[in-house]
Structure 1
Amino acid sequence: MSTMRAVVVDQPGGPEVLQVRDVPVPRAEAGQVLIRVHAFGLNRSELHFRRGQASSGSFPRIPGIEATGVVAADPSGALPAGAQVMTMMGGMGRSFDGGYAEFVVVPAEQVVPFASDLPWEVLGAVPEMLQTAHGSLAVGVRPQAGQTLLIRGGTSSIGLALAALGRLQGLTVLSTTRSAARTAMLESAGADHVVIDDGDIADRVRAIVPGGVDGAVELVGTNVIGDTLRAVRPGGTLCFTGMLSDQWSIPDFYPMDWIPNGVRLTAYSGEAADLPAPVLQAFLDDVQRGRARVPVGRVYRMDDIAQAHRDMEAGVVGGKGVVLP
Structure 2
Amino acid sequence: MSMMQAAVMRGPGGPEVLNIETIPVPMPKNGQVLIKVIAFGLNRSELFTRQGHSPGVQFPRVLGIEAVGIVEHAPGGQFAPGDTVATVMGGMGRQFDGAYAEFACVPASQVRKFSSDLPWKVLGAVPEMFQTAWGSLFRALDLQPGERLLIRGGSTSVGLAAAGLACNHGAYVLSTTRQATRTSLLIEHGANEGIVDDGHLSASIAKVDKVLELVGTTTLADSLLCTRPGGVVCMAGMVGDKWSFDSFAPMDAIPNYVRLTTYSGGVSEFMQMPLDSILTDIALGKLKVPIGRTAQLSEIAVAHRWMEQNQAEGKIVVLTSADLSSFGRSA
TM-score by length of 1: 0.96
> Tell me, what secondary structure is at the counterpart of 2:85?
strand
CA contact (8 A) 2:157 2:314 kept: yes
1:310-325 maps to which residues of 2 (within 5 A)?
Answer: 310-325=305-320
Give the fraction of aligned pairs with identical amino acids, expressed as a percent. Answer: 52
1:277 shift after superposition: 6.0
Whether the aligned pair in 2 keeps the contact of 1:5 and 1:20 (CA below 8 Å) is: yes
Partner residue in 2 for 1:216:
211
The DSSP-based 3-state class of the residue aligned with 1:96 is: coil
Which residue of the partner structure matches residue 309 of structure 1? 304
Indicate the residue corresponding to 1:200 in structure 2. 200
Q: Tell whether the 8 Å contact from 2:2 to 2:24 is kept in structure 1 after alignment.
A: yes
Shift of residue 278 of structure 1? 6.4
CA contact (8 A) 1:155 1:182 kept: yes
- Is the contact between residue 134 and residue 275 of structure 1 (CA under 8 Å) also seen in structure 2? no
SS for the counterpart of 1:139 is helix
* Structure 2 unaligned spans of 5+: 321-331
Q: Does 1:149 align with 2:122?
A: no
The equivalent residue for 1:209 is none
CA contact (8 A) 2:154 2:175 kept: yes
Distance 2:42 2:273 in 1: 24
Mapping of residues 60-79 of structure 1, within 5 Å: 60-79=60-79
From 201, 218, 221, the equivalent of 1:226 is: 221
Aligned residue pairs total 320
Gaps of 5+ in 1: 207-211
Per-residue Cα deviation, 1:141-165 (whole angstroms, up to 9, x for no partner)? 0011111111100111110110111
Pairwise CA distance, 1:272: 2.3
Aligned partner of 1:121 in structure 2 is 121
2:166 paired residue number: 166
Alignment-derived partner of residue 288 in structure 2: 293
Q: Measure how far apart 1:112 and its partner are.
A: 1.5
- Counterparts of 2:58 and 2:204, CA distance in 1: 44
Please say if residues 294 and 317 of structure 2, whose CA atoms lie closer than 8 Å, have aligned partners that are also in contact: yes
Specify the alignment match of 1:243 in structure 2. Answer: 238
**1:268 equivalenced with 2:263 (yes/no):** yes
CA distance in 1, matches of 2:301, 2:95: 22
Aligned-partner SS, 1:135: helix
Distance 1:69 1:205 in 2: 44
> Match of 1:321, as an amino acid?
I
Q: Report the TM-score, using the length of structure 2 for normalisation.
A: 0.95
Comparing 48-57 with 22-31, greater Cα deviation is found at: 48-57
SS of equivalent to 1:205: coil
Q: Which runs of 4+ in 1 moved over 4 A?
A: none
Rounded to whole Å, the distance in 2 between the matches of 1:300 and 1:22 is: 19
Following TM superposition, by how much is the alpha carbon of 1:90 offset from its aligned partner in structure 2, in angstroms?
A: 0.9
Structure 1 residue 65: Cα displacement:
0.7
Structure 1 CA distance for aligned equivalents of residues 267 and 97 of structure 2: 16
Contact 2:131/2:273 (<8 A) preserved: no
Which structure 2 residues correspond to residues 2-13 of structure 1 after superposition, within 5 A? Answer: 2-13=2-13
Superimposed CA distance per residue, residues 187-220 of structure 1 (whole angstroms, 9 cap, x where no aligned partner) = 11001011101111122232xxxxx111111111
